[in-house]
Structure 1
Amino acid sequence: MTNPLTLAAPTTSRGVGPDRTGLLAVDATGLHKSFGAGSRRVRAVNGVDLQIRPGEVVAFLGPNGAGKTTTIDMLLGLSKPDAGSLTIFGRSPRAAIAHGLVSAVMQAGGLLKDLTVRETVAVTASLFAQSQPVDEVLERAGILDLAGRRVEKCSGGQQQRLRFAMALLSDPGLLILDEPTTGMDVEGRRDFWQAIRADTARGRTVIFATHYLEEADAYADRIVLVRRGEIVADGTAAEIKNLASGRTVTATAGNADAATLAAIPGVDSVESRAGKVRVRTKDSDAVARYLLTATDAVDLEITSHNLEDAFVALTGDQDETDETPEAPEAPETTGK
């Protein structure tokens, strides 16, 4: 059986797991990647520098077309950079994969519906010269109690945890998750991330791309934002939020004039609907003073910007038609 989700070679010895090398988990400098030619040539990745220490949990975020998929493809050895250097635990991506140092959990695919959960993991384990015990990885993925269930009877969240168990077989030092909870319900997403977080507590390095910003806020030690193939912010969730200057003032105010609010110095935007106003501003005191003294405002609330606000502010683009496209999807593969 081929498994496009666990990128580790069948001839490998056991991976490094948590940091045993003293090297950076990811060391990328000046990465460039373009596609097409002539006037159709586009830059998917444009000078990315990224250093990730062993044991970090890093969210890799950006709008569609920002270069996330292309960068992940390079980390997985599915694509080579046009320029720049990239090593994983001191090795090239393909060499790191060949030594079982890298595994990936993708959105879908790679499962045979007629096999049981345990059979699926056991068949994948047979591809490795050495691997972690089947029941051990099932337990760490939180699905040991589902070992006898056929894959087709598993929910979407349970199938993703099965893919997670398969990815753990080589005891990889680096685990890459590409939109791993797309299509899951709230409970499934919560259970999946509990399993991931419990495993990363052992020191494994994790990079994940997601459109669910609350996941990045809740589970990442560090957030990297990319736009047009470039990193535009890199820090903790709190540091990223602080980059979106200003606050939001909301209130119920039937007689508030949107034009007057917009004219207050520091105001960035005004939304007024059904007697409620929402003002983004760099001077929340001035807005609050106007609302409380010149209108019938009640239930006034001032909040700092959240991760979504920072994401929009730092990665938004006025010219949507000029967005850098992602690279074409690479063919699925078991390993290199």
Structure 2
Amino acid sequence: MDDMALRLTATSRSFGAVRAVDGLDLAVERGSVVAVLGPNGAGKTTAIAMMLGLLPPDSGTVTLFGGTPAEAVRAGRVGAMLQDGAFVPGATVRDVIELARALYPHPMDTGAILTAAGLTGLAGRRLDRLSAGEAQRARFAFALAGDPELLVLDEPAAAMDVAARQAFWTAVRSYAAHGRTVLFSTHQLHEADDHADRIVVLAAGRVVADGTSAQIRAKAGVPDGASLDAAFLALTSSSASGTGQ
């Protein structure tokens, strides 16, 4: 059995003259929580789209659990929470969770999903009447529905207030503690610092640093007690002209 939940090998993707992902190599072990950081245009969104099988690479390979992304998705092994996920007009929180559960062969129990996403008291509320933070939690619930082995989260805590963020990350860590793999992208660097086992920094479609938060700081040449922001800026400033997506 492959110990890696996810592998990208020499993976590239261009949009016209723009090379969004440039020979990216990345392997993510099962049971880990990995943060992907990068400035706007670093290639994070394109890389995630290829991981999920939404975009084919121009060159290189992407494998999930040793097979193709399409195979992993069909088997219900992958759940995703994307920034631009839309909902069925007029549907309730419970409606969308039940819809999501119907898509998977071995879904999580509805009550467990509601609890994990902090939506138990909002199950009967229409999605178009949720706050922005509550809508994010509903997207998280949708991603959890299939009880996936790999959970991919794109800017997951955006629009959540402080209490909701704390509850969300507690739920993520609890989920990963059962041997699942979580990969998330964020512009909130303290979230990566606090919640990721490993941090991957992208710039101009390439990995410029990969390791624990302490290792990222060391590579950037900043003190261990310095903010991750300082390390991030040091690592990505030389690639600020990158134009990936």
Q: TM-score, normalised by structure 2?
A: 0.92
- CA drift of 1:197 comes to 1.9
Given that 2:140 and 2:156 are in contact with CA atoms closer than 8 Å, whether structure 1 keeps it comes out as: no
Where 2:210 maps in the other structure, the secondary structure is: strand
1:168 deviates by 1.6
1:312 and 2:233 are equivalent in the alignment: yes
C-alpha deviation, 1:47, in angstroms = 1.4
Matched, 1:46 2:22: yes
- The answer for the alignment partner of 1:236 in structure 2 is 212
Matches within 5 A, 1:82-121: 82-112=58-88, 114-121=90-97
Q: Which amino acid in the other structure matches residue 235 of structure 2?
A: L
Q: 1:246 to 1:179 in 2, by over 3 A?
A: closer
Q: Which residue pairs with 2:183 in the alignment? A: 207
> What do the CA deviations read for 1:270-297 (whole angstroms, capped 9, x no partner)?
xxxxxxxxxxxxxxxxxxxxxxxxxxxx
Contact 1:105 1:177 in 2 (8 A): yes
Match of 2:244 in 1: 325
User: Relative to 1, partners in 2 of residues 1:47 and 1:119: Cα closer, same or farther, differing over 3 Å?
Assistant: same
Say what the alpha-carbon RMSD is for the aligned residues: 2.0
**Separation (CA, whole Å) in 2 of partners of 1:28 and 1:323:** 20
1:176 paired residue number: 152
Partner residue in 1 for 2:4: 24
Letter in 2 for 1:27: R
Distance 1:246 1:217 in 2: 15
Helix, strand or coil at the partner of 2:121: helix
Farther-moved stretch of structure 1 (308-317 vs 142-151) = 142-151
Question: Structure 1 regions of 5+ residues with no counterpart?
Answer: 1-20, 248-302, 327-336
The offset of 1:143, in angstroms, is 2.0
- Structure 2 distance, partners of 1:216, 1:242, is 16
Q: Which amino acid aligns with 1:221?
A: D
Contact 2:31 2:176 survives alignment (8 Å): yes
Q: Distance in 2 between matches of 1:246 and 1:73?
A: 32
Q: Please tell me whether residue 33 in structure 1 is matched to residue 13 in structure 2.
A: yes
Change in CA separation of 1:246 and 1:88 when aligned onto 2, cut-off 3 Å: closer
Deviation at 1:220, TM superposition (A): 0.3
The answer (yes or no) to whether the contact 1:141–1:196 under 8 Å persists in 2 is no
Bigger CA radius of gyration: 1
User: 2:194 — aligned with what?
Assistant: 218
Q: Which amino acid aligns with 1:127?
A: L
1:30-55 CA distance string (max 9 Å, x none) = 1111221xxxx121111111111111
Deviation of 1:144 after TM superposition, in Å, equals 2.1
State how far apart, in whole Å, the 2-side matches of 1:199 and 1:122 are: 20
- Specify which of 70, 73, 76 is matched with residue 46 of structure 2: 70
Deviation at residue 246 of structure 1 after TM alignment: 4.6
Summarize deviations over 1:95-136 as a string: whole Å, max 9, x none: 111111111112243224533222221133233454222122
What is the identity percentage for the equivalent residue pairs of Structure 1 and Structure 2?
A: 47
8 Å Cα contact 2:80/2:143 also seen in 1: yes
Provide structure 2 residue ranges, at least 5 long, that are not aligned to the other structure.
Answer: none
The answer to which of 126-135 and 97-106 deviates more is 126-135
Q: CA separation in 1, counterparts of 2:103 and 2:178?
A: 25
Q: Is the 8 A contact 1:121 1:165 kept in 2?
A: yes
CA–CA distance in 2 between the matches of 1:211 and 1:324?
17
Tell me the CA shift for residue 192 of structure 1: 1.9
Q: Is the 8 A contact 1:160 1:192 kept in 2?
A: no
Paired positions, count: 245
- Give the aligned partner of residue 171 of structure 2: 195
Relative contact order (alpha carbons < 8 A, sep ≥ 6): 1 or 2 greater?
2
Deviation string 1:64-104 (CA, Å, 9 cap, x unpaired) is: 11111111110010111111121100111111111111111
Letter of the aligned partner of 1:311 in structure 2? F
